[in-house]
C-alpha cells in the first residue's frame, strides 16, 4: 500500500495534489450536488460524506463515477461515524442544517443550526484540527463565529483556515449584472462584495465595477444592489416551502473549495471573497467580515483591502455593521453559554 507521502509524490508528477475532503450534511439539497462536483474535481482524491443517514448510499452512487477519488459514506448511527469521516481531512465543508422557508430570515435558522454546527465543529476540532473549514450552514454571519469559538476552546484555532462561504453572492452578482448589460456571464465580471451573508449585510461595491458604474442608471444600480442582497429570498419564494438555493450553492461551494485547494497546492494569485476573521473592523467590535482574500498553502495568505467606497456604499456599510455585530455576538454568546 502506498503511503500518503508516496501518493503525494506520485500525484505531483502529474501536477495533481491529492486532497482529502469531508462534506458534513452530504445528503441534503446542497450536499449531494456539491459532492458530485467534488467527485469531478481532480484535486480531490478522497471524498468522505457524512450525514445523519443515507451517506453510504450517496457515496456508493458517486463512487461509480470514473475519476481518481475514493468515496466513503459515514452515518451518525455508526460508532465514531463523524470522527472517522473527518480524520485526516485537508478540507471540511459544512452544509448541514435546515434551510429557510418563505417569510423566514436566515437568523430564524439560528436556534436549530447553531447547535448542529457547534457539534460538528467540536468533532472537527478534534479529528481534523489542521483542516481548512468551509461553513455553508446559515446564518453564516453567526455560524462562522461559533466555529471559531469552538476551535479556540480546543486550542486549535487558526483564523487563516476558517471560511464562511459567500461565493453565491458573488456568482449571483455576475449573472445579474450580465442580464442587465447584455454581456457574457461567463466572463469574469464579479462585483467586489463585502460585509456578510444576509440582506443588508451584503454590500456589492458597484462603484468599483466599470461596467456597473458606467452602463447602469442610478435606479438600475439601486435595484441591482437590492437583488444581490435579497437573491436568496428570490429562490426561497420560488421554491415555496421546499427549501432555498441548492444547485447554484453547490456550484458556488465547489468553486470556492477548488480555490482553497488550488491555494493549498501552491497556485499563485488565487483570489476569492469569504467571510473571515478580519482585522478591518475589530476596533469597532466586529471580528468577522466578508472581503477578498488571496489563498495559499496555509489557507489565507493575504487579506486584501476593500478599496474605495462611494458615499452611498458608506451608508450601506453603516447599516451592515449594525446587523453584523449582533449576528456575530449571537454566535459567540451561544458558545460562551455552553461553557
Q: Is 97 an interacting residue with respect to ligand NAD (CB under 6 A)?
A: yes
Task: Answer yes or no: are the C-beta atoms of 247 and 255 closer than 8 Å.
Answer: no
Q: Is 177 an interacting residue with respect to ligand LMR (CB under 6 A)?
A: no
Q: Which of 35, 85, 201, 244 binds ligand LMR (CB under 6 A)?
A: 244
Using alpha carbons, select from 91, 84, 164 the residue that is nearest to residue 123: 84
HSE, CB side, 13 Å, CA atoms: give it for residue 257. 34
Task: Answer yes or no: are the C-beta atoms of 206 and 226 closer than 8 Å.
Answer: no
- Give Cβ neighbours of residue 149 (< 8 Å, ≥ 6 apart): 331, 332, 335, 336
CB of 171 to ligand LMR, least distance (A): 11
Interaction pattern, residues 122-141, with ligand LMR; x per rule: CB under 6 A: ----------------x---
Q: Which residues of 291-316 are buried (b: 16+ CB within 10 A; e: fewer)?
A: bbbebbeebbbebeebeebeeebeeb
Interaction pattern, residues 161-200, with ligand NAD; x per rule: CB under 6 A: ----x--x----------------------------x---
CB of 234 to ligand LMR, least distance (A): 8
**Cis ω on the peptide bond leading into residue 287 (within 30° of 0)?**
no
Footprint of ligand NAD on 28-87 (CB under 6 A): 28-31, 50-52
Other Cβ atoms within 10 Å of 217 Cβ, number: 9
When CB distances are held under 5 to 8 angstroms depending on the partner's kind, the choice from ligand LMR, ligand NAD, none that residue 193 binds is none
Q: Is 228 an interacting residue with respect to ligand LMR (CB under 6 A)?
A: no
Q: Which of 236, 261, 303, 335 binds ligand LMR (CB under 6 A)?
A: 236
Sign of the CA dihedral running 76, 55, 95, 18: positive
Footprint of ligand LMR on 256-315 (CB under 6 A): none
Surface-to-core class of residue 3, CB atoms within 10 Å of its CB (0-12 exposed, 13-18 middle, 19+ buried): exposed
- Which of 116/261 has CB closer to ligand NAD? 116
CA dist., res. 23 & res. 120, Å (int): 11
When CB distances are held under 5 to 8 angstroms depending on the partner's kind, the choice from ligand NAD, ligand LMR, none that residue 281 binds is none
Which among 25-33, 60-68, 205-213, 291-299 is the span making contact with ligand NAD, rule CB under 6 A? Answer: 25-33
When CB distances are held under 5 to 8 angstroms depending on the partner's kind, the choice from ligand LMR, ligand NAD, none that residue 28 binds is ligand NAD
Q: Is 174 an interacting residue with respect to ligand LMR (CB under 6 A)?
A: no
- Give Cβ neighbours of residue 203 (< 8 Å, ≥ 6 apart): 193, 194, 195, 313, 316, 317, 320
Size of the site for ligand LMR (CB under 6 A): 9
Residue 83 falls in the annotated catalytic set: no
CA dist., res. 299 & res. 34, Å (int): 21
- Exactly one of 64, 83, 197, 226 is catalytic; which is it? 197
- Which of 120/265 has CB closer to ligand NAD? 120
When CB distances are held under 5 to 8 angstroms depending on the partner's kind, the choice from ligand NAD, ligand LMR, none that residue 51 binds is ligand NAD
Q: Annotated catalytic sites, by residue?
A: 197
Where do contacts with ligand NAD occur on this chain (CB under 6 A)? 24-25, 27-31, 50-52, 95-100, 109, 113, 116, 119-120, 136-138, 140, 165, 168, 197, 243-246, 249
Amino acid at each position: 500500500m502506498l503511503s500518503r507521502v508516496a501518493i503525494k509524490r506520485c500525484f505531483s508528477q502529474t501536477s495533481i495534489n491529492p486532497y482529502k475532503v469531508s462534506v458534513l450534511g452530504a445528503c441534503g439539497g446542497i450536499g449531494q450536488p456539491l459532492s458530485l462536483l467534488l467527485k469531478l474535481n481532480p484535486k480531490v482524491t478522497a471524498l468522505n460524506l457524512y450525514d445523519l443517514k443515507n451517506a453510504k448510499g450517496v457515496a456508493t452512487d458517486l463512487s461509480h463515477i470514473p475519476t481518481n477519488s475514493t468515496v466513503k459514506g459515514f452515518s451518525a448511527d455508526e460508532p465514531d461515524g463523524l470522527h472517522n469521516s473527518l480524520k485526516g481531512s485537508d478540507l471540511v465543508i459544512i452544509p448541514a442544517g435546515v434551510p429557510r422557508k418563505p417569510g423566514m430570515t436566515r437568523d430564524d435558522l439560528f436556534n436549530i443550526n447553531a447547535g448542529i454546527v457547534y457539534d460538528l465543529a467540536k468533532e472537527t476540532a478534534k479529528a481534523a484540527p489542521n483542516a481548512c473549514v468551509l461553513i455553508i450552514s446559515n446564518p453564516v454571519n453567526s455560524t462562522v463565529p461559533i466555529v471559531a469559538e469552538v476551535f479556540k476552546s480546543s486550542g486549535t484555532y487558526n483564523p487563516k483556515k476558517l471560511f464562511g462561504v459567500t461565493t453565491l453572492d458573488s456568482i449571483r452578482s455576475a449573472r445579474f449584472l450580465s442580464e442587465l448589460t447584455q454581456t457574457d456571464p461567463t466572463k469574469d465580471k464579479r462585483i467586489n462584495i463585502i460585509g456578510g451573508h444576509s440582506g443588508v449585510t451584503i454590500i456589492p461595491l458597484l462603484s468599483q465595477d466599470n461596467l456597473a458604474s458606467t452602463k447602469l442608471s442610478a435606479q438600475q444600480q439601486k435595484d441591482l444592489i437590492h437583488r444581490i442582497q435579497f437573491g436568496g429570498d428570490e429562490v426561497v419564494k420560488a421554491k415555496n416551502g421546499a427549501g432555498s438555493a441548492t444547485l447554484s450553492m453547490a456550484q458556488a461551494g465547489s468553486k470556492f473549495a477548488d480555490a482553497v485547494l488550488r491555494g493549498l497546492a501552491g497556485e499563485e494569485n488565487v483570489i476569492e471573497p469569504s467571510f473571515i476573521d478580519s482585522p478591518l473592523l475589530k476596533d469597532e467590535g466586529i471580528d468577522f467580515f466578508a472581503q477578498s482574500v488571496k489563498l495559499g498553502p496555509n489557507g489565507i495568505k493575504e487579506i486584501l483591502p476593500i478599496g474605495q467606497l462611494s458615499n452611498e456604499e458608506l451608508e450601506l456599510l453603516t447599516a451592515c455593521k449594525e446587523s453584523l455585530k449582533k449576528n456575530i455576538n449571537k454566535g459567540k454568546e451561544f458558545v460562551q453559554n455552553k461553557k
